[in-house]
Amino acid sequence: MKREPLYEGKAKRVYATENPHEYVVEYKDDATAFNGVKRAQILGKGAVNNAITAHLFPQLEAAGIPTHFIERLSDTEQRVRAVTIVPVEVIVRNVAAGSFSKRLGVEEGTPLARPVVEYCYKSDALGDPLINRDTAVALGWASEEDLGRIRELALRVRDFLTPYFAARGIRLIDFKLEFGKTPGGQVVLADEISPDTCRFWDAATGEKLDKDRFRRDLGGVEEAYAEMLRRVTSEAEGGKQKAEG
Ligand code: C5P
């Protein structure tokens, strides 16, 4: 398949193909944190994140959430629908952690009485600042209607993933999603769902099994990513399927 590099982000490269309706996404081992200040390679990360995303997206699709995903092509590559990414990152939180805890002085691990949806402007130069929906509409990043649909889909992703991970011994603390628009104007889930973009805590031990191991120098980064691939692709454990909060 012919490929023309289109865009290189911190963790992935996007290529145009001979089919104008499809892109190829290549997942890299490169890891960055604190807006690119901290950089390293996490061996096997690209393959793990590609595999986890390729495992989850078809299940989300089957649950009625449209996505850009078409198929996994290789260890580190997948074929996706060509969409225009909405420059608004959507964070969904079940439990206080990370920037939410820091900003509001709420101890990490405090359960939230309802899921919280936050919006950030997707801008490396500005460090993905927190915004609200009025800002996104006022600056032309998304319409009110698109943002309503994005919020609805983000919460449906949460309603699918939270019990999915619980059944595999993982608490889904929070996660970040990106959405794209097709040429026909449909809003679809894009980007990835992986230990780079979610907080995963082991339900039994509380151990962090996500990128916080890299951000916070906790060690065992590769092992945590490999363990999450194992959990995601494992069968649900009977009786554990219960939503957080
Ligand atoms: O840092 P913060 O607490 O805001 O992160 C919330 C969630 O969003 C975490 O799961 C984090 O991995 C994810 N995130 C992301 N990309 C960003 C910011 C946060 O994947 N640029």
| Each residue's pLDDT tens digit, 139-165 | 999 999 999 999 999 999 999 999 999
* Residue with tokens 């060690």, as numbered in its chain: 219
pLDDT one-digit tens code per residue, 68-124: 999 999 999 999 999 999 999 999 999 999 999 999 999 999 999 999 999 999 999
pLDDT at residue 54 is higher than 70: yes
Q: Are both 111 and 28 inside the same structural domain?
A: no
- Distance between Cα 2 and ligand 1 center (Å): 33
> Domain holding 94: CATH number?
3.30.470.20
Q: What angle do CA 239, 241, 244 make, to 5 degrees?
A: 130
pLDDT one-digit tens code per residue, 168-202: 999 999 999 999 999 999 999 999 999 999 999 99
pLDDT at residue 245 is higher than 50: no
- Start-to-end CA distance of the chain, whole Å, equals 46
> Domain holding 31: CATH number?
3.30.200.20
Q: Are both 175 and 157 inside the same structural domain?
A: yes
C-alpha 116/C-alpha 100 separation (Å) is 10
Ligand 1 atom index nearest CA of 98: 3
The pLDDT, as a whole number, for residue 3 is: 87
Q: Are both 46 and 155 inside the same structural domain?
A: no
Q: Are both 147 and 216 inside the same structural domain?
A: yes
Ligand 1 atom index nearest CA of 128: 21
The residue nearest atom 11 of ligand 1, judged by CA position, is: 197
- Distance between Cα 33 and ligand 1 center (Å): 10
Q: Are both 19 and 117 inside the same structural domain?
A: no
Q: Are both 165 and 190 inside the same structural domain?
A: yes
Ligand 1 atom index nearest CA of 199: 10
Tell which residue, 97, 1, 19, 44, has the closest CA to residue 221. 44
Residues whose beta carbon lies within 6 Å of some atom of ligand 1: 89, 91, 97-100, 128, 174-176, 197-199, 211
- Name the pTM for this structure: 0.96
Tell which residue, 177, 235, 230, has the closest CA to residue 60. 177
Number of domains, the chain: 2
Q: Are both 70 and 126 inside the same structural domain?
A: no
Q: Are both 39 and 121 inside the same structural domain?
A: no
Helix (H) or strand (E) holding 23: strand 22-27
**Domain assignment of residue 234, yes or no:** no
The residue nearest atom 12 of ligand 1, judged by CA position, is: 197
The residue nearest atom 10 of ligand 1, judged by CA position, is: 198
Mean pLDDT, range 204-213, rounded to an integer: 98
CA–centroid distance for 236 within its chain:
21
C-alpha 173/C-alpha 183 separation (Å) is 33
Range of the domain at 16: 5-81
pLDDT band at 240 (very low <50, low <70, confident <90, very high): very low
Query: Last residue of some domain: 38, 64, 81?
Result: 81
- Across the chain, what does the average pLDDT equal? 96
pLDDT over 90 for what percent of the chain?
94
- Distance between Cα 199 and ligand 1 center (Å): 8
**Domain assignment of residue 156, yes or no:** yes
> Side chain identity at 81, as an amino acid letter?
R
